[in-house]
Structure 1
Amino acid sequence: MVRTYKVMLLPNNKQRTKLCECAGVARWAYNWALEQEQISYKNSGKFINDRGLRKKLTQLKQTEEYKWLNNYSNNITKQAIKDACKAFKNFFKGRNKFPKFKSKKRSKQSFYQDTVKIVIKETHIKLEKLTTFKKKNKQKINWIKLVEKGRIPTGKNIKYFNPRVTFDGLNWWLSIGIEIQQEANESLTDGIDLGIKDLAVVSTGQKFKNINKTAKVKKLEKHLKRLQRKLSKKYELNKIQTKGGEYCYRKTKNIKKLEFLVLKTQRRLKNIRHDYIHQITASLVRTKPKYVVMESLNTCGILKNKKLSKSIQEQLFYEFKKQMEYKCAWNNIKFILADRFYPSSKTCSNCGSIKTKLSLSERTFRCNECGYEIDRDLNASINLKNYGNSIA
């Protein structure tokens, strides 16, 4: 099985410039491939395969106008063309919408690196052709420092898959896939119930609190609101009326600084929430159960509740499910998703009778048949565990 690692890079100013240039080359090659496909379809009603486009690009590189492409890795343009052709194939198979040209301002900056030419060590990574100079002191630009020491496994027998360098607006990241072996697990089952009061309640009785209620997160949210209000006022002060009578906003250096601070605060909040979910999911998978059962929630339907929509959105239920799913796959644990209409909260975990009505304010489940009393969320998690055992 292939496991993906994502590590933050620490490039210097020269390396940042080179990484931006490489991402620009990948974007140019992708847009060029889309343009060639569209022209070919208009003229002949057929599309060109990626091999034909790469041959065309090789001929372009020999001309004076496109000679600058030789200063960058051939694998960047090669993979960008493959991605463009794949986007067209996905469109015709009904998987995605019609592919669009990548914008310089709005699109995510990223580029591909060859699996053979990439070199990974404990503290640094070597990227291909960041500089064209062959002197040893100039070749140092190719080596970029990693934030986490020894995060990516290294060795002669390790195979790497699809290494990509991306920029998220603040930092540069390397994501790379590595093949791993799976081990057998114990014959245990964990039922996990997600909620708003507590993020997750496990059938073993373990509870994980809602991190959005902590003082740290509340303080950051208040700080973000202040920054956004300040930014909005700055935009209103720099509003200009055009000749046509319409209004447009002039972006000053102070506005750019504020936008960066807003992005930084938003990213920090996102990282705190994601890190908390990573800690929970890792601790659950570490117990090595044979099955993990979760409920398939109708999140879009739940978000229609205006009073609870913000709290539900901040809980990141989909992210929790996604992390549990791939971490279970890594550790050879069977992940079971219970049916959306399975009454896990209304069913008594003691006698199995189902309640007809159960309001959201009832936090303690009381069975009308046997009189059994238990915490509502714990009862749901035990029912999910029983559901998994009955299927397995």
Structure 2
Amino acid sequence: MVKAIKVMLIPNNVQKTKMFQYAGASRFAYNWALAREKENYEKGGKFISDSELRKEFTKLRHSEEYAWLLNISNNVTKQAIKDACTAYKNFFKGLQKFPRFKSKKRSMPKFYQDNVKIQFSNTHVKFEGFSSSRKANKQKMNWVRLAEHGRIPTDVKYMNPRISFDGLKVKKLEKQKRRLQRSISRSYEKNKKGESYCKTNNVIKKEKLLLKRNHRLTNIRKNYLNQTISEIVNRKPRFICIEDLNVSGMMENRHLSKAVQEQGFFWFRKQLEHKCGDKGIQLIVADRFYPSSKLCSCCGNIKKDLKLSDRVYRCACGNIIDRDFQASINLKAYGERFAS
């Protein structure tokens, strides 16, 4: 069985710098391969295979102008060239639009790691080529900490491991938004005249910029939700079962309100209902008081004293399981009872 797992990494500053270098090299190799294919096609030549392009790129790496590429794992650039060739072939097959060159500012930084050389432990993941030194203290730089321990199995074969910086854009925009809000507040206080506030041209510019940041953040979150919903619906399940959450009650918790608001539960449910209707998939909504997390999936016992901080469910019958995974099992059983 092939299973996709996405986990967050917590690199230090040195590792983060190395990752950005890998992502930059991957983008460079992709754009280079796409430019070569385009140039060759305009001259009337046939399609250049990725193996030929990789041989040509190897010679390029050893030139003085591109010597910086020698500090990057060869597998990173090889896979980027292969991706460019695949995208180019898919265009001529009519499967997608013409591939665009990757922009340094707008494209998501990401790169590939060799599936044979990448290693996982319960707490760390080992990358290829971060440090070539054999000294123990230098070798530590190759091991990047995982945010969730024990999530990725260590005794399986890995396929197509990718590293992407999908959360940095949101964090950066959130930081810009906070700075703009504080700057606007200071400007209002500075230009206050008696009991009234004077809105200067600079304040108007900052407010327009703040509005753009809010729209950008909203669009990113909605796009992520749409992609998630499409991924679920495209699997063509017989039914989908979700919970009827008390969102207004969750918003009253001052520690969780911001996180709950950003998840967009209402938008997610409405879009899921719409897409399930289009695909002919039955959407089942579990009752709000159905104990999906507190109900033991083995013996049926309900653990009433289960707290939100208890991430692992432990039952007297011996069942020890992640509470969210158990909730999904119980929701599946709930959906099977009501599925038509």
TM tier, shorter chain? 0.5 to 0.7
Q: What letter is aligned with 2:123?
A: T
Distance 1:139 1:34 in 2: 35
CA offset at residue 21 of structure 1? 0.6
Q: What's the CA shift for 1:120?
A: 0.2
Q: For 1:237, give the aligned amino acid.
A: N
- Give the aligned CA root-mean-square deviation in angstroms: 4.8
Between the aligned partners of 1:385 and 1:293, the Cα distance in structure 2 is 9
Residues 1:133 and 1:29: Cα distance change in structure 2 (over 3 Å): same
Instruction: Identify the range of structure 1 (127-136 vs 143-152) with the bigger mean alpha-carbon deviation.
Output: 127-136
Deviations 1:242-295 (CA, angstroms, capped at 9, x unpaired): xxxxxxx8x9xxx8xx79x96997699779989xx9xxx9xxxxxxxx95379x
Alignment of structure 1 residues 306-345 onto 2, 5 Å: 314-317=267-270, 337-338=279-280
- The change in CA–CA distance for 1:18 and 1:50 in structure 2 (over 3 A counts) is same
Q: Are residue 52 (structure 1) and residue 5 (structure 2) matched?
A: no
- Corresponding residue SS for 1:2: coil
- Segments of structure 1 that go 5 or more residues without pairing to the other structure are 173-222, 240-248, 282-289, 295-310, 325-335, 341-380, 387-392
Cα deviation 1:205-252 (Å, max 9, x = unaligned): xxxxxxxxxxxxxxxxxx99x959959x9996289xxxxxxxxx8x9x
In structure 2, the CA distance between the partners of 1:316 and 1:66, relative to structure 1 (3 Å rule), is farther
Going from structure 1 to structure 2, the CA distance change for 1:339 and 1:109 (only over 3 Å counts) comes to closer
Q: 1:267 to 1:41 in 2, by over 3 A?
A: closer
The residue type paired with residue 44 of structure 1 is G
Letter aligned with residue 139 of structure 1: Q
Q: Residues 1-392 of structure 1: matches in 2 within 5 Å? A: 1-155=1-155, 158-170=156-168, 237=202, 291-292=238-239, 314-317=267-270, 337-338=279-280, 385-386=339-340
SS in 2 for 1:4: coil
CA deviation after TM superposition for structure 1 residue 137, in Å: 1.3
How high is the sequence identity, in percent, across the aligned residues? 47
**Paired letter, 2:239:** V
Distance 1:316 1:236 in 2: 41
Residues 1:139 and 1:5: Cα distance change in structure 2 (over 3 Å): same
Q: Distance in 1 between matches of 2:122 and 2:169?
A: 20
Deviations 1:48-77 (A, max 9, x none): 110110010111122111222111111100
Code of the aligned partner of 2:166: D
Distance in 2 between residues matched to 1:44 and 1:34, nearest whole Å: 16
Quote the Cα distance in structure 1 between the aligned partners of 2:37 and 2:203: 42
User: What CA deviation, in whole Å up to 9, does each residue of 1:330-355 have, x standing for no partner?
Assistant: xxxxxx95289xxxxxxxxxxxxxxx
* Higher strand proportion: 1
Residue in 2 aligned with 1:190?
none
Q: Secondary structure of 2:152's match?
A: coil
**TM-score for both structures, normalised by structure 2:** 0.57
Q: Which residue number in structure 1 is paired with residue 308 of structure 2?
A: none
**CA deviation string 1:157-184 (max 9, x = no partner):** x111110000014289xxxxxxxxxxxx
In 1, the alpha carbon distance for the partners of 2:128 and 2:146 equals 16
Q: TM-score, normalised by structure 1?
A: 0.50
Secondary structure of the structure 1 residue equivalent to 2:46: coil
Contact 1:71 1:132 in 2 (8 A): no
How far apart in 1 are the matches of 2:200 and 2:152? Answer: 44
* Whole-angstrom distance in 1 between the partners of 2:224 and 2:54: 43
Corresponding residue for 2:299?
Answer: none
Structure 1 consecutive aligned stretches of length 4 or more whose deviation exceeds 3 Å: 226-231, 233-236, 261-274, 316-322
Cα distance, 1:95 vs. partner? 1.3
Pair 1:63–1:163, CA change in 2 (3 A): same
Tell me if the contact between 2:22 and 2:111 (Cα under 8 Å) persists in the aligned partners. yes
**Secondary structure at the counterpart of residue 7 of structure 1:** coil
Q: 1:104 to 1:291 in 2, by over 3 A?
A: closer
Match of 2:293 in 1: none
Local SS of the residue matching 2:8: strand
Residues 9 and 171, structure 1, Cα contact 8 Å, conserved in 2? no
| 1:6 to partner: Cα distance | 0.5
Counterpart AA for 1:46:
K
User: CA, structure 1 residues 263+11, in 2 after alignment: closer, same or farther (shift >3 Å)?
Assistant: farther
Partners of 1:8 and 1:60 in 2: how far apart?
34
On the 8 A contact 1:170/1:264 being kept in 2, the answer is no
Aligned-pair CA distance for 1:133:
3.1
SS in 2 for 1:160: coil
